[in-house]
């Protein structure tokens, strides 16, 4: 392999526990893979997912699990064959006989990054041997629209139509509807009650998901897994608390939020003391339903939630596509200690079916380590993982590229399993 592995160097002083994590994962590799196989036998994995991770130096945690992943264009082209092969497995599982796929994308057709991801996803499905057409629910697209992309590819969007209990685009009735739209605005009427399988199911759209449900499943998964690899589960998960409905504009529920924020900060502080971590704990207060990072508040002292000014309250009351915040989750902020060229770097891991197919770093130019790197409008440079996440090498140091990426792949799969349990609970 002539590519160079870009593995950002940890600059934090607390590398001890992290190397412990990676060492434990390497030492238990066979057991880990056997454990995952058993888990997937109990609960099938989602069709695909991307998981945002934070590597704090002393812990590695997921912070977001997206079941309608974008960003496929950020993966190394060297690993697209892995995606193609994994899609073949995934398609066999969800719909053995399917050969005509209809991809339903996000409606934001002016986001050129998203469109490049969509073109990559389309190419992966085609290379896997499936016919693909893209049927959009964007009301602005009323006829076939071809968009030329900067990569030189072109993308053909067609308006989605419905006849009886089936959706189609002009002259093409698919066997499978593959959602790449996170349904932040809710379940689109046109996709309800179809006779064609819809994957992932409508019920797992962002508007229906609660972060607290995902992270409660994740907590169970991490506890089970931590016993297997003999680690403190805290090293693999963000602590969190939730506290029912909060209306920032009216100030309702803020007392409960204050109390829980205080408790969570205290829990984190205790863990920091246990591990000798000389940092100030931070928590994020955010909407429990999906928001793309809108309305996220960074809190270092519980009192801050009491002292919001008007502008801050307004910001906390808005989220993507206008959902009003009601349920609120308070989550441990896991700092990013990874740096690429001195900029904070957050790993994002991609999975198709049960397989880790690649990932990239979001490299941020300006923000500090504790801030939410996935905030709206945030610019980042993607840096593709240069090595796969499935070729650990026990002969090398625990933080050598393949071993670091293996650790990421393991933690991301824990989040994938939590999402699988979320899906299974939908019935």
| 92 sits near a second copy (criterion: CB under 8 A) | yes
Interacting residues of 2 by C-beta distance below 8 A, sequence separation 6+: none
Letters for 275-294 (x = contact with a second copy by CB under 8 A, - = none) are --------------------
| Residue with token string 């049927």 | 135
**For the chain, what percentages of helix, strand and coil (3-state, to nearest 5) are there?**
35, 25, 40
What are the angstrom distances between the C-alpha of 411 and each of 50, 135, 222, 307, 348?
Answer: 12, 34, 9, 36, 11
Q: Which stretch binds a second copy (CB under 8 A): 88-96, 103-111, 229-237, 244-252?
A: 88-96
Applying the rule CB under 8 A, the residues between 363 and 402 that interact with a second copy are: 388, 390-392, 395
| 416 sits near a second copy (criterion: CB under 8 A) | no
Please identify which residue in 2, 142, 195, 309 interacts with a second copy, judged by CB under 8 A. 2
Applying the rule CB under 8 A, the residues between 143 and 172 that interact with a second copy are: 153
> What are the DSSP calls for 22-54, one per residue?
HHHHHHTHHHHHHHHHHHHHHSPPPSEEEEEEE
Choice between 76 and 327, CB closer to a second copy: 76
Choice between 49 and 297, CB closer to a second copy: 49
Applying the rule CB under 8 A, the residues between 124 and 143 that interact with a second copy are: 126-131
| 6 sits near a second copy (criterion: CB under 8 A) | no
In the bound complex, what is the minimum distance in angstroms from residue 104's beta carbon to a second copy? 20
End-to-end CA distance of the chain: 45
Work out whether strand 380-384 and strand 198-199 pair parallel, antiparallel, or are unpaired.
Answer: unpaired
Give how many residues touch a second copy by CB under 8 A.
39
In the bound complex, what is the minimum distance in angstroms from residue 29's beta carbon to a second copy? 7
Task: Please state, in angstroms and rounded to a whole number, the distance separating the CA atoms of residues 312 and 198.
Answer: 39
CA-CA-CA-CA torsion sign (388, 394, 395, 400)? positive
Which residue in 370, 382, 373, 371 sits closest to 340, CA to CA? 382
Please identify which residue in 20, 43, 85, 312 interacts with a second copy, judged by CB under 8 A. 85
Choice between 223 and 391, CB closer to a second copy: 391
| 79 sits near a second copy (criterion: CB under 8 A) | yes
Work out whether strand 176-180 and strand 198-199 pair parallel, antiparallel, or are unpaired.
Answer: parallel
- H/E stretch holding 417: helix 401-425
| 355 sits near a second copy (criterion: CB under 8 A) | yes
| 228 sits near a second copy (criterion: CB under 8 A) | no
| 82 sits near a second copy (criterion: CB under 8 A) | yes
In the bound complex, what is the minimum distance in angstroms from residue 293's beta carbon to a second copy? 31
- Residues lying near a second copy in the complex (CB under 8 A) are found at 1-3, 29-30, 32-34, 36-37, 41, 76-82, 84-86, 88-89, 92, 96, 99, 126-131, 153, 355, 388, 390-392, 395
């Amino acid at each position: 392999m002539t590519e160079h592995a870009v593995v950002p160097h940890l600059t934090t002083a607390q590398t001890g526990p992290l190397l412990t994590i990676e060492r434990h994962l390497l030492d238990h590799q066979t057991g880990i893979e056997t454990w995952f196989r058993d888990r997937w036998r109990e609960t099938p994995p989602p069709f695909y997912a991307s998981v945002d991770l934070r590597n704090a130096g002393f812990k590695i945690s997921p912070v977001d699990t997206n079941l309608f992943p974008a960003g496929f264009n950020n993966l190394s082209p060297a690993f697209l064959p892995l995606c193609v092969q994994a899609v073949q497995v995934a398609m066999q599982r969800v719909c053995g006989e399917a050969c005509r796929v209809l991809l339903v994308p996000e409606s934001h057709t002016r986001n050129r990054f998203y469109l490049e991801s969509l073109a990559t996803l389309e190419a992966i499905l085609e290379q896997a041997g499936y016919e693909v057409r893209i049927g959009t629910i964007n009301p602005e697209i009323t006829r076939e629209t071809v968009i030329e992309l900067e990569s030189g590819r072109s993308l053909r969007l067609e308006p989605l139509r419905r006849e009886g209990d089936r959706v189609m685009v002009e002259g093409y009735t698919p066997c499978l509807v593959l959602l790449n739209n996170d349904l932040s605005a809710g379940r689109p009427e046109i996709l309800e009650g179809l006779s064609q399988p819809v994957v992932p199911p409508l019920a797992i759209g962002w508007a229906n998901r609660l972060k607290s449900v995902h992270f409660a499943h994740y907590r169970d998964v991490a506890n089970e897994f931590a016993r297997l690899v003999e680690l403190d589960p805290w090293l693999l998960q963000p602590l969190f608390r939730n506290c029912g409905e909060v209306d920032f504009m009216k100030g309702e529920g803020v007392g409960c939020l204050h109390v829980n924020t205080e408790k969570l900060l205290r829990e984190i502080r205790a863990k920091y003391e246990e591990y000798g971590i000389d940092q100030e704990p931070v928590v994020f207060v955010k909407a429990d339903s999906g928001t793309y990072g809108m309305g996220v508040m960074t809190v270092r002292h519980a009192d801050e939630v009491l002292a919001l000014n008007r502008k801050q309250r307004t910001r906390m009351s808005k989220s993507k596509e206008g959902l009003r915040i009601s349920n609120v989750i308070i989550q441990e902020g896991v700092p990013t200690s990874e740096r690429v060229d001195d900029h904070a770097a957050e790993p994002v891991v991609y999975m198709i079916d049960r397989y880790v197919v690649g990932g990239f770093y979001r490299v941020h130019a300006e923000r500090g380590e504790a801030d939410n790197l996935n905030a709206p409008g945030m610019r980042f440079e993607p840096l593709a993982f240069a090595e796969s996440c499935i070729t650990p090498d026990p002969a090398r140091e625990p933080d050598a590229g393949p071993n670091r990426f293996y650790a990421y792949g393991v933690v991301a799969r824990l989040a994938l399993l939590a999402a699988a349990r979320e899906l299974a609970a939908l019935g």
